[in-house]
Structure 1
């Protein structure tokens, strides 16, 4: 018997699983600075500055400021400003406003993202098989984020009258995807699209690790898949 025969729902992580960022952060910050007639900032310094700023904001105001009732744009404006400051770039308010607006609008569009070629075929196949997946759960709206298992419970609630054991979660992080999904009773597996060194440890931890969504489809359709999970 295939696992597919007892599944009714699939939840899928987005970034790294369905889509990827195009280019590097420095490209977008450089374009934004040039749009305000400023020189292009150093890519590496900006990237490192962003990592520090994002980590600090996520710790101080988790879920993009949900508990503090901070508007999304304010959260990101604070993060972007701190990214530049940590990289050694400080702008007057008018200049920064121009730079930030360009960055915020750009990341709010589809321009910096690319969809993996197997994503849409996989989702179409899942729909054809009667699997529910067309709903979203966003940490900034729910007030909880991975790896908190509660976000997976919310996904099950959003799916309707579907049990955890009738659901499969596909992601790309052992800590944020596999472990919390399994803790609420969901089936789970991981994708290793970029041949991460951590993948071997994932397997040793008991996770099923596959290279792409086509491999997921093949596994789910296999008569032996039910015994794999």
Structure 2
């Protein structure tokens, strides 16, 4: 059954989002921030992780608005952007007595830690899925399209999947972000494909991944943690077909979108 589907496949390119699609955080951001801060004699307690996680989410959104795409177009380096975010996160979480010098050291440490597999793990079904397409169907190119910085490359290789991809497009490097059409057009160019109908993108963001791909004429699948819960809670807010929602990347292997137009 599986072989016959692939033989009929019209898909020549499959791309994946990175964070929360290929990769998962091993722990909360607050946990990692608190752990590193404790190495610099910052007192942490049971409430620290939650406060830091909440502050991170808030400050991340704010800084993304002020300096989109990690500051590449507003004069910041990636290191500067993340250093600024770390400092804002700790200040907003109530750590107002930590010196700026110490926060700079903490942010530098965190930047290096998050560049390794220490903070990351593969999401469910990732390894089996990319291995399947890479080894059994080499005519289908695989790529990554991610709104992140260049540390992603080393993380993917350290986790043992980097070599499966024909290309990895990183927003801070190419200076454009999903859902911009330019990001998806760059992927087609990398794959040597002119028609988005031959491409499939998979990600966990409805706006950046699913809609971004669809508006460019691509096929798209939305990855969610719990499909039943998603449909009960959010379906009325999203224009998406039920069979374009998946819970694991393994579902792509036999998905009808590979061989039959599903737009």
* Common topology (TM > 0.5): yes
1:138: which partner in 2? 170
Q: How does 1:118-133 map to 2 (within 5 A)?
A: 118-127=125-134, 128-129=136-137, 130-133=139-142
Which of 37, 40, 43 aligns to 2:41? It is 37
RMSD across aligned positions (CA) = 2.3
Contact 2:21 2:223 in 1 (8 A): yes
2:227, 2:246 within 8 Å by CA — same for their partners in 1? no
TM-score normalised over the length of structure 2: 0.78
Unaligned 5+ runs, structure 2? 143-165
The 2-side partners of 1:189 and 1:202 are apart by 14
Judge conservation of contact 2:55–2:90 (CA < 8 Å) in 1. yes
Provide the residue aligned with 2:153 in structure 1: none
The answer to whether the 8 A contact 2:219-2:262 is kept is no
Unaligned runs of 5+ in 1: none
Does the 8 Å contact 1:172/1:191 carry over to 2? yes
Assess if the C-alpha contact under 8 Å between 1:26 and 1:44 holds in 2.
yes
d(CA) in 2 for partners of 1:49, 1:116: 25
- 1-structure distance, mates of 2:60, 2:254: 38
How many aligned positions are there? 227
Structure 2 residue 205 is matched with structure 1 residue 173: yes
8 Å contact from structure 1 (residues 174, 202) kept in 2: no
Greater RCO structure (CA 8 Å; 6+ sep): 1
**SS class of match (1:40):** coil
Q: How does 1:77-226 map to 2 (within 5 A)?
A: 77-90=83-96, 91-127=98-134, 128-129=136-137, 130-133=139-142, 134-195=166-227, 197-199=229-231, 201-202=234-235, 205-207=239-241, 208-220=244-256, 225-226=259-260
TM-score when scaled to structure 1?
0.89
The worse-fitting range, judged by mean Cα deviation, of 31-40 and 198-207 is: 198-207
